[in-house]
Amino acid sequence: MVNKVSKGQLEVFLSRLEGFLEPKIKLEQYVMDGKIGAEMLWNAFMRGDIDNKIVGDLGCGTGILGIGALLLGAKKVLFIDIDQDAIIQAQNNFSKAKSEDNTLGDAIFLCQDVKDFNNKVDTIIQNPPFGIQKKGNDKIFLKVAINTGKVVYHFGKTEGSNFIRKSAEANLAKVSDEWIFEYPIKAVYKFHRKKIHRFNASCWRILSL
């Protein structure tokens, strides 16, 4: 296991990547917090789930998690998002990362519905929609992730922990770890009343059985 960057360096780099130019509320597009994203990825790296692995970033948005995985030594990352604008921004962010480190692994960008993703990978990392705008969307992401990845790092509201554990069992998998964060969301939509809204969010590590 070779760490190309420290956790602190990873946080700084992820925080510098460009967010959504025009975020779409129907897709629940929010930029992943750089500090939490780095912590999530570092936990995966330390458990041997990133270095020299093939990784899928489902609902990749602007590519923060997938690019972070490449910075930590992933062999290849598949970036999947239904939004073409998000894919373009993820490609731009990857180009920025590649210009600073030309040893990064391969990046494949797929503009498609996550339901159509069936590539088998070593690790899935995802910060999916929470199912607020489209009920059940989070369930779809979780099922696809478990069916395509040997290990899954799934991000969501902490209050849904029991649902995550039961869903994992229903899909012949189990939760091995849970990390809880105080997650900040900056005001990006007109209906937001606070500059920053904070809530408890978790990252679950899920293993296929």
pLDDT beyond 90 at 21: no
Strand-by-strand arrangement of the 173-186 sheet? 106-111, 76-81, 54-58, 121-126, 149-157, 196-208, 173-186
Phi, psi of 36 (to 5 degrees): -70, -40
> In angstroms, how far is CA 72 from the centroid of its own chain?
14
Q: Is the pLDDT of residue 125 over 90?
A: yes
Chain centroid, CA 169 distance in Å: 21
pLDDT tens per residue across span 34-77: 899 999 999 999 999 999 999 999 999 999 999 999 999 999 99
182-205 pLDDT, tens digit per residue, is 887 665 545 556 666 677 899 999
Q: Which amino acid is at 12?
A: V
Contact 72, 3 (CB under 8 A): yes
**Domain annotation for the chain: domains and CATH numbers:** 28-208 (3.40.50.150)
| pLDDT for the residue numbered 133 | 52
Can you give the pLDDT at residue 54?
Answer: 98
Q: How many CB atoms lie within 10 A of CB 71?
A: 24
- Dihedral, 158, 78, 1, 176 alpha carbons, nearest 10: 30
Q: Name the 3-class secondary structure at 29.
A: coil
| Res 28 pLDDT > 80 | no
Quick: pLDDT tens for 76-123: 999 999 999 999 999 999 999 999 998 999 999 999 999 999 999 999
Nearest to 101 by CA among 18, 13, 1: 13
* The pLDDT value given to residue 33: 84
